[in-house]
């Protein structure tokens, strides 16, 4: 069958009605983007057959008139983030979510993830086992070869490939090509549809051209002012496996270019989902929102049959059944990040309901199949050709790491230690260094070279301007309270896909499970400047983070790594997401 993919747009987005379920969100509007713009806040105040076994999940709502059918097979991935080479998986040892969601996915790590998901395979061990037991896997070439291998074994007219957020940015190649390499990557991965993501505010003057080059549907419930030349549709339709599918795009509610209040943002997605339900048998939401907001949407979008999360960079080996307000459930997928693998989801209609069989297929760079090995070699050659004009600059060795460099963690990793040390050195040792808890990670083993590409990964391919601000204890404590509320509070819509701030020059304590405004104690007083950096692309007040780090590395004798920044956390022992013993340097 052929795609039916005109840009079906819902009716123009009107403000949410007063009696909508989401109206209480307006009181939380003051939290939005407060930590993404740190300076402003202070100023204001597969291949080897390695896969999980198939797991089953049901969409809880009965769709009257839906015939029994085998249905489509979905292949989906998210958050590639310029991960082109095999890497040590950046799976966290500690991952704490809202205290009210203790024991729920995706807030578990290590052995607790396997225990709660009920899945223990080579694939899950590769992504959730002890850091020192892992080996490099994945990369864009391996992911492309994995998808090719899966498609050749599936029926072409039943297969749909979905690309969720943050696949055109994330590191040096996207930064230098201004999105061109991302379009090429999506074409290699043969995505049928993708969600509008960071490229929209990273390269606003050329994003329309990028979408035209992609030449396939791009979805996202945007307001007209942010929609580049009207090229982004609320949803698009496909026919696969005898079923009519609608793919709806949900954009990041905390994006720097998002002008709407949370009520109107949600109302646009809800309206598009309702319109999609009228035209489709199966409604899929690509939620480039972060993990908490994706769960929040799952609880409220009654017309959705399947929700796929992105931006939180979380992995869960099975679909997660989320209970909705009326007692039924909807499956939610957390597909992981950095080109480590792909979810394969078979959809079957039985007795008016969709049933899903899912498995995660690892993108392993050591194939045993000769045809796949040839395909992998071809992809690697194409990647080398794409990188050739930039490789000498990106791969320039700047220093050798004396220990494990890693980042993804609730309180901070050794990459964060380098960042806050460089910030303090630039502003004087009396300064306090404050960095956002971004999850963009590239793990390096002892003795490996640090390159510019690695440094650009730390800001997710954003410039990351350095800023200095005056602050006092009240301003700093208020910022930390807001940041911890985004991590640990409710509603989960506040989750901005960051971990706790990284702070050096003053100690602090965070009481997990305390109420809003009662979590933070500062151990000392703020004296002088606070130096920080911001991933906000509109912030141009100082040099970019990667240049600051390169200067720091060139002037430092990196015989050892500085101490990691970190809050003292209370009441977290025994949490399924708290396994600090599995950190690479433990």
Exposure letters 132-153 (e unless 16+ CB within 10 A, then b): eebebbbbbbbbbbbbbbbeee
**Mean per-residue pLDDT for 445-469?**
95
- Check: CB of residue 283 under 8 Å from CB of residue 32: no
Helices 370-394/180-189 angle, 10° precision = 170
Radius of gyration of the chain (CA): 23
| All domains of the chain in start order, with CATH | 46-87+136-384 (3.60.21.10), 396-582 (3.90.780.10)
Average pLDDT, the chain: 89
In the structure, what pLDDT confidence band is assigned to residue 352 with cuts at 50, 70 and 90?
Answer: confident
* pTM above threshold 0.85: yes
**Mean per-residue pLDDT for 95-104?**
94
| DSSP assignments along 51-105, one per residue | BPPPEEEE--S--TTPPPB---EEEEE---TT--S-BB----SB----GGGTT-T
Q: What is the pLDDT of residues 483-516, one digit of tens each?
A: 999 999 999 999 999 999 999 999 999 999 899 8
In the structure, what pLDDT confidence band is assigned to residue 34 with cuts at 50, 70 and 90?
Answer: very low
Distances (CA, A) of 398 to 90, 394, 546, 547, 550: 22, 10, 11, 11, 7
**Mean per-residue pLDDT for 65-85?**
92
Question: Which of these, 550, 544, 445, lies nearest to 176 by C-alpha position?
Answer: 544
Strand partners, 346: 73, 357
Instruction: Give pLDDT, residue 1.
Output: 37
Q: Six-digit token pair at 298?
A: 């799952």
**Mean per-residue pLDDT for 27-45?**
45
The residue written with tokens 């945007």 in the block is 222
Instruction: Give pLDDT, residue 333.
Output: 98
Q: In this prediction, what percent of the chain has a pLDDT beyond 90?
A: 77
551, pLDDT greater than 80: yes
**Cα–Cα distance, 193 to 186 (Å, whole number):** 9
Instruction: Give pLDDT, residue 55.
Output: 72
Q: What is the pLDDT of residues 296-328, one digit of tens each?
A: 999 999 999 999 999 999 999 999 999 998 899
Instruction: Give pLDDT, residue 385.
Output: 98
**Cα–Cα distance, 144 to 113 (Å, whole number):** 27
**Mean per-residue pLDDT for 270-298?**
98
Q: What is the pLDDT of residues 369-411, one digit of tens each?
A: 899 999 999 999 999 999 999 999 999 999 999 999 999 999 9
43, pLDDT greater than 70: no
């Amino acid at each position: 069958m052929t795609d039916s993919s005109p840009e079906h747009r819902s009716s123009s987005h009107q403000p949410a009605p007063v009696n909508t379920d989401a109206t209480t969100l307006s009181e939380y509007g003051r939290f939005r983007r407060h930590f993404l713009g740190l300076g402003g806040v202070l100023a204001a105040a597969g291949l080897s057959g390695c896969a999980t076994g198939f797991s089953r999940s049901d969409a809880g709502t009965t769709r009257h008139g839906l015939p029994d059918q085998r249905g489509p097979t979905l292949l989906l991935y998210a958050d590639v983030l310029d991960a082109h080479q095999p890497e040590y998986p950046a799976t966290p040892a500690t991952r704490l979510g809202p205290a009210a969601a203790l024991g729920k996915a995706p807030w578990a790590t290590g052995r607790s993830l396997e225990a709660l998901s009920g899945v223990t395979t080579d694939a899950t061990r590769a992504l959730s086992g002890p850091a020192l037991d892992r080996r490099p896997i994945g990369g864009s070439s391996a992911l492309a070869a994995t998808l090719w291998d899966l498609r050749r074994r599936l029926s072409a007219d039943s297969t749909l490939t979905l690309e969720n957020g943050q696949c055109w940015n994330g590191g040096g190649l996207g930064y230098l090509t201004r999105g061109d390499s991302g379009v090429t990557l999506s074409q290699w991965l043969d995505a049928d549809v993708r969600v509008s993501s960071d490229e929209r505010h990273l390269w606003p003057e050329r994003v329309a051209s990028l979408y035209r080059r992609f030449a396939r549907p791009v979805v996202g419930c945007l307001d007209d002012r942010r929609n580049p030349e009207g090229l982004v549709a609320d949803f698009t339709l496909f026919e696969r496996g005898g079923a009519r599918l609608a793919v709806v795009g949900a954009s990041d509610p905390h994006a720097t270019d998002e002008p709407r209040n949370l009520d109107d943002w949600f109302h646009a997605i809800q309206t598009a989902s309702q319109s999609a339900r009228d035209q489709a048998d199966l409604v899929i939401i690509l939620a480039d929102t972060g993990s908490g907001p994706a769960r929040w949407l799952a609880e409220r979008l009654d017309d959705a049959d399947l929700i796929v999360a992105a931006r939180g960079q979380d992995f869960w080996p099975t679909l997660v059944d989320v209970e909705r307000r009326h007692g039924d459930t909807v499956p939610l997928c957390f597909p992981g990040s950095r080109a480590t693998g792909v979810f394969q989801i078979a959809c079957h209609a039985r007795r008016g309901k969709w049933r899903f069989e899912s498995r995660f297929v690892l993108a392993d760079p050591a194939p045993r199949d000769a045809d796949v090995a040839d395909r992998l070699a071809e992809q690697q050659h194409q990647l080398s050709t794409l990188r050739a004009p930039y490789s000498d600059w990106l791969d320039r060795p700047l220093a050798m790491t004396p220990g494990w460099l890693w980042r993804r963690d609730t309180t901070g990793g050794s990459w964060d230690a380098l960042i806050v040390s460089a910030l303090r050195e630039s502003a004087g040792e009396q300064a306090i260094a404050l960095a956002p808890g971004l999850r963009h990670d590239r793990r390096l083993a002892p003795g490996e070279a640090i390159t510019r590409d690695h440094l650009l990964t730390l800001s997710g391919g954003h410039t990351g301007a350095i800023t200095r601000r005056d602050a006092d204890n009240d301003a700093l404590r208020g910022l930390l309270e807001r940041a911890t509320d985004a991590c640990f509070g409710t509603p989960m819509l506040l989750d901005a896909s960051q971990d706790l701030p990284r702070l050096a020059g003053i100690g602090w304590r965070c009481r997990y499970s305390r109420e809003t405004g009662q979590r933070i104690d500062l151990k000392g007083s703020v004296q002088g400047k606070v130096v920080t950096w911001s991933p906000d692309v509109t912030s141009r007040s100082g040099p970019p983070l990667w240049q600051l780090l390169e200067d720091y590395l060139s002037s430092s004798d990196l015989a050892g790594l500085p101490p990691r920044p970190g809050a003292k956390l209370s009441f977290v022992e025994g949490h399924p997401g708290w396994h600090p013993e599995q950190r690479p340097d433990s």
